[in-house]
């Protein structure tokens, strides 16, 4: 679902709605269909329709730009790069590391956690003298969106790609 300005209503996570919702938006005339699934038709007693794959809202919806702390947002802020050795990590291999260890009173906040690969995390352990290359910070919504745009999307319909620039 795109906002009236042509960009997704939400980037984090991507504004994906169910087919039932998409039909509701269509029936209520709240959004315009930009693309359809060619081979997906749904029926009710009296009518049938193809299912929309991309829609744009008729009225602009204010975006929520507050950032919640989460492990995934820390990984995203760090671009899935270990903050100790600089190696790339994946969603599967990324670990969350407390710069000031929890055992030393370290908090689970954007300012005290970084992305680490398994070996660096194990190597650091409870050593508070080993510090990341960059001081961790609380990212803005737009910084996270920029990072997210650089990563691959798992898209159920190829037409979506055109709207994710
Ligand atoms: Zn590492």
State in Å: Cα 77 to ligand 1 middle.
Answer: 16
Instruction: Give the number of other Cβ atoms within 10 Å of residue 94's Cβ.
Output: 22
| Average pLDDT score over residue span 31-42 | 94
| Average pLDDT score over residue span 97-119 | 96
- Answer whether 163's CB lies under 8 Å from 54's CB: yes
Average pLDDT, the chain: 93
Residue 88 region, left (φ>0) first, then alpha (ψ -120 to 50), else beta? Answer: beta
- Answer whether 97's CB lies under 8 Å from 70's CB: no
State in Å: Cα 131 to ligand 1 middle.
Answer: 12
State in Å: Cα 117 to ligand 1 middle.
Answer: 4
């Amino acid at each position: 679902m795109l906002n009236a300005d042509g960009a997704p209503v939400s980037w984090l996570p991507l504004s994906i709605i169910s087919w039932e919702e998409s039909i509701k938006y269509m029936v209520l005339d709240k959004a315009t269909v930009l693309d359809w699934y060619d081979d997906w038709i749904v029926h009710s007693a009296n009518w049938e329709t193809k299912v929309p794959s991309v829609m744009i809202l008729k009225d602009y919806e204010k975006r929520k730009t507050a950032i919640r702390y989460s492990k995934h947002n820390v990984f995203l802020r760090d671009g899935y790069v270990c903050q100790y050795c600089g190696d790339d990590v994946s969603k599967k291999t990324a670990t969350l590391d407390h710069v000031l260890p929890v055992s030393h009173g370290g908090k689970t906040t954007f300012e005290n956690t970084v992305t680490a690969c398994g070996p660096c995390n194990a190597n650091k352990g409870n050593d508070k003298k080993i510090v990341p290359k960059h001081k961790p910070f609380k990212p803005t919504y737009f910084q996270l969106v920029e990072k997210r745009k650089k990563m691959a999307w798992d898209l159920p319909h190829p037409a979506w790609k055109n709207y994710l620039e």
